[in-house]
Chain A
């Protein structure tokens, strides 16, 4: 079964510093991978997705992620953190079952940005 593991439930960075949120996947087939962001009291919003095209994927709000098959990773980065980036971030993998395709989410990483 396809699954993802997010390393680090909490990450703290200073404003202007590099943001790196880690996600490793497990999949026996080429995966489709997603990063979602959740701001307080809101639903999830898609940041970016990998669907087997370019390995470097650019998303909204200056975020990007690189698919590395050799490392089974799909880490999310942003060169310079803004205060507004403080939120919960979820990595997800498309999983196939007898019922069809669905998303399996990681447990999330809470990003704190300090002045």
Chain B
């Protein structure tokens, strides 16, 4: 079974530039998550999709971050314009759905973003 795929693995941009990350979840997983992991901290949920609808985006900085999951499969996360504090690893995860017994999340390798 293929895991969660993410690209690119690394990205370096200057502040005020834009950047996009792509995620392809495990086949059949209805729920997709984007996390931000700042160095030395645990993952922080940015946005959660159930199929192609947003379940929770309460911690997404909507003035600069956007995400979509067209057709309920793969997803993109965009930052425009980037700030220095956006330097982090962006992790994508998926799960069968959000019911308690099916909440086990599978993570991709992440995209390490450096904003200079």
Q: Which residues of A contact B (CB under 8 A)?
A: 9, 32, 34, 36, 41-46, 49, 51, 90, 92, 94, 97, 99-103, 105-108
Contact = CB atoms under 8 A, between A and B. Distances in A.
B7 interface: no
A108 B42 contact: yes
B100 A32 contact: yes
A90 B48 CA distance: 20
A32 B95 CA distance: 15
A108 B35 CA distance: 15
B109 interface: yes
A30 to B, nearest CB: 10
B98 interface: yes
8 contacts: A41-B112, A43-B108, A90-B42, A97-B56, A101-B100, A102-B56, A103-B103, A108-B42
Contact of B91 (A44, A97, A100, A108): A44
Contacts of A49: 104
Contacts, number: 67
Contacts of B45: 102-103
B107 A100 contact: no
A99 B58 contact: yes
B52 interface: no
Given A43-B108, A44-B91, A101-B100, A90 B55 contact: no
B32 interface: no
A94 B43 contact: no
A31 to B, nearest CB: 10
